[in-house]
Copies of this chain bind each other. A is one copy, B any other.
């Protein structure tokens, strides 16, 4: 890890900078896949399945039998753990429902807004080394609470044409039964355009590799909404002498094991804290299954020593981390000064792992500095908020003359006339 001691402005710029990639070549490759799926639909999906997933599928959808088999295969202890996570995620996202309130903005003028579910949404769940069933929970639970009428889930099958048991179990628990064995950019295309097997959806959620990310960004330009622009996962940890260095080390490592491009930033108020964290990392790293990945990620990461807490906070806000762990004495007071972050963890017991799985907050969060201008996924992500207004005759009398004046000032005659003709009818 690169250490900065009381970094100056130029160094801070370097610290907060994210790696930039030229994606034009990737986009060109992915565009070919998108067009192929648009044109050839299921045929293209089956062909890509043979090519990339090494399996030859007749039926792209997961059968009732496969769900049953998955159910029987998942251990009861994992089922109980998932059940606990479902309950916390439900509680927190359910609390995000917005009550409809009618506001009388002027005499006789009533305005309100209503959260209406996006009718059809798609969820992408990557496979790879492990089944990321937590993604299913984080996306399918709020979709259910929002009331989305149709939820489609795509995930790449293994070479036997199967999707991981835990993913299928989690999907069924969350009420998602429309699951397809399709992965990669072709899955995003299928959900965006629809095929014989897959219904077209209006918004696509979920993480994925660079092909999936590129496909999401490309379909977003042609009418399909997406959850968030995606980048490598990140954590920033702010630690003072009240932190437990072994905990800080464990949290840095848990971020680092995601991938070699993971970003970790430790901001410590004293060199001795950083030294203790380094020592703890050494000890913990040795026994990790994914230690090579974690080590590589840490090599690209930064440590800042900044005794001035307000400067440390300013640096973190400038960095705008996806995850922020505040392991300092006055964690709550510091939290009040955080203006850019995806999700924040307060105190020594609030490990990022809690938010990744079970505290109830969503783990789909803005990376790559997007915490400056984007929120993480929440119930809001699954609804549109439609505004309504109703003017009584009194309401039109209240606003009408002002609207006529403003429309005329903007040179919009017919806008004015739509009011005048009504006011005349009232006299």
Contacts and interface: CB of A to CB of B under 8 A. Distances in A.
Contacts of A309: none
A132 B409 CA distance: 9
A403 to B, nearest CB: 5
Q: How large is the interface on A (under 10, 10 to 19, 20 to 34, 35 or more residues)?
A: 35 or more
Interface string A397-411: 001011101110111
Given A247-B422, A290-B413, A414-B290, A349 B393 contact: yes
Interface in A73-92: 77-78, 80-82, 84-85, 87-89, 91-92
A345 B419 CA distance: 14
A332 to B, nearest CB: 8
Contacts of A410: 130-134, 166
A370 B223 CA distance: 7
A417 interface: yes
Contact of A133 (B103, B106, B358, B409): B409
A250 interface: yes
Contact of A402 (B81, B339, B362): B81
Contacts of A332: 390
A272 B361 CA distance: 55
Contacts of A87: 105-106
A232 interface: no
Contact of A349 (B82, B253, B391, B406): B391
A372 to B, nearest CB: 5
Contacts of A384: 340, 366, 371-375
Given A223-B370, A371-B384, A289 B413 contact: yes
A391 B347 contact: yes
A406 B343 contact: no
Contact of A418 (B166, B229, B352, B402): B352
A406 B134 contact: yes
Interface string A250-266: 11011011100000000
Interface of A: 77-78, 80-82, 84-85, 87-89, 91-92, 95-96, 98, 101, 103, 105-106, 109, 111, 113, 116-119, 129-134, 166, 202-203, 217, 221, 223-225, 229, 244, 246-247, 250-251, 253-254, 256-258, 284, 288-290, 294, 331-332, 335, 338-362, 366, 368-376, 378, 380, 383-393, 395-396, 399, 401-403, 405-407, 409-419, 421-422, 425
